[in-house]
Every structure is written in C-alpha cells, then in structure tokens.
Amino acid sequence: MASIDFNSDVGENFGVYRLGDDAAVLDHVTSANVACGMHAGDPQTIAATIGLAIARGVSIGAHPGFADLQGFGRRPMQLGPDELNHLMVYQIGALQAFCKAAGTRLAHVKTHGALYNMAARDPVMARAIADAVFAVDPQLVFYGLAGSELVRSAREAGLVVAEEVFADRSYQDDGTLTPRSHPRAMITDIEQSVAQVLRMVRSGVVRSTNGVDVHVQPDTLCIHGDQPGAANFARAIRQALEAEGVSIRPVSQRSIALRPISPLTPGAHA
C-alpha cells in the first residue's frame, strides 16, 4: 500500500495578528511545521500550536525562516553560511525546547518561504541548513523540495530526508515552485489540487505551468495553513487519498524506509 505524510505550515500568528485556522487544518494532517518566531509566530503561539498538535496526534516539526516579520519570510535575504547556520540552530532550538516542555519531541525540520526556495537551488545555503539540523539533532527528519539541492545536501550531511511535494502550488519545468509573484503560483481550486496530488502519488509526476511532466518523489505532501479555505482543501485531499487506499502517516513513522543506504556518501540522491 502506498503511504504519504501530510504536512501543513502552521503557528504563524503573532501578537495581535491572526492567520489561518490551525485547529481546523490540524484535524486533517499528520505533521505540523510550526513557525519559530522569525518570519511569524511568537512564544504564546508556539506553545498553543504544539498543544493543538499533541491533542490530535500530529507530529511536530520546526519551520525556520528568514528574520523578516514584515515580509513574512518571503523576501530574499543574503546571509553567509555561518549566519545561516546559526539562524537555523537558534530557531530549531526554540521549537525543541517548547516540545520538551510539553512532554513531546521535535520530529522534523522544514524551512520556510524565500529561504526554502533559495536553498532549493543553492547548494551552499542548503548545506549550511543541513549541517545546522544535524548539529542540533541528527535524528531529525529533513523536509526538502523533491529533487532539489535541499534534498541532496541533507542526504550528504547524513540526515534522513522526506522529499516534499505541494498540493496548492504550481511547478516550473525544473521542478521548482512557481514564484508567488506569478498569477498561477497558487492553486485555488480544490478539484485541481486533488487531481495534482493524486497524479503525484499515483505516477510520481507533476505537470508544470508550461505543460511539462516533472518527476517527483512524494514522501510528504504540503498544504499551506495560511491559504484561504486551507481546512477544506486538507479535508478533500485526505478523503481523496484514503479513497485511493493511500495510507497517511507521519513521516516520523516512516523514517526507516526513508533512510538512505549510505547517508554520508555524496550524490546518494537518485
């Protein structure tokens, strides 16, 4: 039976600002990527979101991004490898501490926004991020865009990797996500989203905005918690996957299957 993890970016409220309906989204996913306070989130939100996830048996991950509250972490920033490494350690450590205080453990790490998209192409950035994750806890599973530098660098660093695909984003011919500045970047139709997800799971391909079929490895599937109607999307996608006989499980329960044969060997990505 095919299986997949279903994740969502959550915990992105801060101060008086409210974004998305985390409780409703977490009813349908298996993993939560919790904002760490740099692009969004604050201590109260982190603690509350972890509580929501624990109550639903949802696996918890850190969702670090650039230190850019005003831009929601979606504006590019140029940081050296050491700066980036330390920024990751700082944010992962915060989530790890909140998880420990709540009596649970941090299971994975997935970067956010511009950081995610830049590192998907840039091997230096990707390796700085991967080394930071490994240094904090080599048992953490690393989520990265399927087929990207994030995936390759994390495997070279010795991490277990879950290759990520997206339910609500369109793709370019090279397998990267369509920039949000493009009018077709977001998939806002539930039926279109479900069709994209099912094709990725059934056939391991996704069609780009130019009509090119791009091969992907769907270990974990993302739905953005801040998208309008995210909970309705998540419900429909989960129902469609279960109707296909797909087992939906947290990636932490599948980490042995995802572990590379030679995790320290460069170029292990297939």
**53: nearest Cα among 69, 34, 79:** 34
223 and 29 Cβ atoms separated by less than 8 Å: yes
* Positive/negative CA dihedral, 51, 242, 234, 154: positive
Residue 10 lies in a domain: yes
H and E: helices and strands count for the chain? 9, 10
Does the pTM exceed 0.85?
yes
Does residue 268 register a pLDDT over 50? Answer: no
Under a CB-based contact definition with an 8 Å cutoff, are residues 26 and 102 in contact?
no
pLDDT digits (tens, 9 = 90+) for 91-120: 999 999 999 999 999 999 999 999 999 999
Residue 264 lies in a domain: no
pLDDT at 21 over 70: yes
End-to-end CA, the chain: 22
Q: Give tens-digit pLDDT for 112-166.
A: 999 999 999 999 999 999 999 999 999 999 999 999 999 999 999 999 999 999 9
For the cut 50, the answer to whether the pLDDT of residue 264 exceeds it is no
Give residue-wise pLDDT tens across range 76-95: 999 999 999 999 999 999 99
Domain count, the chain: 1
> Looking at the predicted structure, is the pLDDT value of residue 258 above 70?
no
* 25 contact partners, CB below 8 Å, separation of at least 6: 8, 10, 223, 225, 230, 231, 234
CA distance 258 to 250: 12
Question: Which CATH number is 155's domain given?
Answer: 3.20.20.370
Q: Is the pLDDT of residue 270 over 90?
A: no
Residue 265, domain member (yes or no): no
Is position 215 within any domain?
yes
The answer to whether position 24 is within a domain reads yes
Rounded to whole angstroms, the Cα distance separating 24 from 235 reads: 9
What's the domain range around 166? 3-258
Tell me whether residue 243 is in a domain.
Answer: yes
Q: Are 130 and 138 in contact (CB under 8 A)?
A: no
What would the pLDDT profile of 175-198 be if each residue is shown by its tens digit?
999 998 898 999 999 999 999 999
CB 4 within 8 A of CB 198: no
